[in-house]
A and B are shown apart, each in its own frame.
Chain A
Amino acid sequence: MVNDTDTLHTLAHIVEEIAGVESAEVTPEKSFIDDLDLDSLIMVEITLQIEDTFGVKIPDDQIAELRTVGNAVSYIDGHRP
């Protein structure tokens, strides 16, 4: 079974590396835009890094649905190869 704590942990490090937000701040209930103060450009970079790291392609029309960190973790875990 996929461990979503691992996914969260990895995603938090991606966000830290790309956006400079401390990984401890990247928790499931946080909204990328409103709580973590990330803008659309950073989200593009994070999405690409998610694709590279997890092998999960996120279609453009899904990106807007991934409002929170938790949404992203669920999506990744639900679509991992």
Chain B
Amino acid sequence: MTTSRTPAPSVDRLAPWAFEAFVEANTHDTAYRPPVVDGPVGPTIIRNGHELVNFASISFLDLERHVPVRRLFAEGARAHGLSTSGSRMTQGICRPHQVLEETIARHTGKERAISFATGLLANIGFVNAMSSSAHFDTGIEVRNHDTFFVVDRDVHWSIWKGLEGLGYGRNVHAFRHNDVSGLARVLDRVRARDRKTVVIAESIYSADGTMGPIVEILDECDRHGAISMIDDANGFMVYGPENRPYAREAAAIRERADFVMVSLSKAIGLEGGAIAGPAAAIDAFELLSGTSMFTAAIQPPTAYVATRTIETLADNPAIVDDYLAHAARLRRQMHEADTPTTPTESYMLSVPIGNDAAALQMREWFVEDGYLVPVFSYPAVSRNQALLRLFPHAGHTEEQLDGFLSTLLTYRRRLGV
């Protein structure tokens, strides 16, 4: 008797999802197969055998010059293995995770920190933990489905993803980007003081590189009895010392924000994230976040290197001081060349171009001429509000930065933007 086999799903069954038409309609603007980088990512990268000066790397400190990252990773791997291979609650965390979490708590000025495989999981886990209801037994319960969230419109996708399903316009409201009076209006309107309210904003925003009005946001939280969470992914270990920009905001995050999210993929140059805050809440997050328990953790050697990198940056402020001066120099040169950037003192340079087609053309020309420059165009930003978003890298030479600037000026003249 022949055994019938279940036929493989036919491609036609996916037709109602219209994936093929979607991809075909957009391939002139968007690459759906990601380009492949050969070798390590740094101030330059190799794609298709071509070297490109890289303005897309979110890890910008050229750390291998200051921290023997790869040797430490190997050391951490030898001592602690490559994978946690088990849940935090059942098997436990590796020693490097515990040390990393204590290190992050210390450097953020909070009682405790909990680590996640990525910053995205940290953010989703935070929202989930703050809005969960769980009942195990009498007295062992939380009922937080009535938490009210008020967020800056431009917060990261991961926050919006976490808030999905909580009811925009009911339990979730947004205020215009960096608009404290908008925040105040929402908090007044929803009578935040009578509710469990959480305000979420970022320190440095990824699209425009601006620093949020942190002090004023925290003032409004105090005024309305709201809990604050600051996503400091782009600021962690960069801002804080008095000699650097945004010392006031960094101090406010440290001293006044209830919770802070940090990323290990920016200044720290690795992968991972954490939420730091009051110990009782973070203890509860172990069970309530979901994203610390039901998925993989940061690889142990990564946690091992992250701790050492954080301590190196704290003990050697010149590493970040020099980088910030390097980024500021490029900003100054751009202004002197009559190329405006979004007003901010942060290391991220955001160059408004405007016309979407012009920005996308620039992106192609840049690659042909040896530069990898991220372009934000519609729908990532509003129509014809396209911009270039640059991360100067500590490893970029003067020659590379001068070359980039003169190339940009040439394109602007050519396109009339």
Contacts and interface: CB of A to CB of B under 8 A. Distances in A.
Contacts of A45: 168-169, 173
Q: Is the interface of A mostly helix, strand, loop or mixed?
A: helix
A41 B168 contact: yes
Contacts of B254: none
B413 interface: no
Interface residues of A, number: 9
B170 A20 contact: no
Contacts of A44: 168-169
A41 B168 CA distance: 8
Interface string B213-241: 00000000000000000000000000000
Nearest to B167: A48
B153 A41 contact: yes
A7 B368 CA distance: 58
Interface residues of B, number: 10
Contact of B169 (A17, A20, A48): A48
A20 B185 contact: yes
Contacts of B182: 20
B78 interface: no
Contact of A18 (B168, B170, B181, B189): B189
B405 interface: no
A20 B170 CA distance: 18
A41 B170 CA distance: 12
B166 interface: no
Contacts of A48: 169-170
Interface in A12-49: 17-18, 20, 41, 44-45, 47-49
Contacts of A41: 153, 168, 174
Interface in A26-79: 41, 44-45, 47-49
A18 B181 CA distance: 12
Nearest to A41: B174
A48 B173 CA distance: 12
A40 to B, nearest CB: 10
Interface in B133-183: 153, 168-170, 173-174, 181-182
A18 B189 CA distance: 8
Contacts of B173: 45
B168 A17 contact: no
Nearest to A46: B169
A72 to B, nearest CB: 16
A47 B189 contact: no
B185 A47 contact: no
Contacts of A47: 169
Most buried by A among B168, B169, B182, B185: B169
Nearest to B182: A20
B189 A17 contact: yes
Contacts of B168: 41, 44-45
Contacts of B170: 48
Most buried by B among A17, A18, A41, A47: A41
Given A47-B169, A48-B170, A49-B169, 13 more contacts: A17-B185, A17-B189, A18-B189, A20-B181, A20-B182, A20-B185, A41-B153, A41-B168, A44-B168, A44-B169, A45-B168, A45-B173, A48-B169
Interface of B: 153, 168-170, 173-174, 181-182, 185, 189
18 contacts: A17-B185, A17-B189, A18-B189, A20-B181, A20-B182, A20-B185, A41-B153, A41-B168, A41-B174, A44-B168, A44-B169, A45-B168, A45-B169, A45-B173, A47-B169, A48-B169, A48-B170, A49-B169
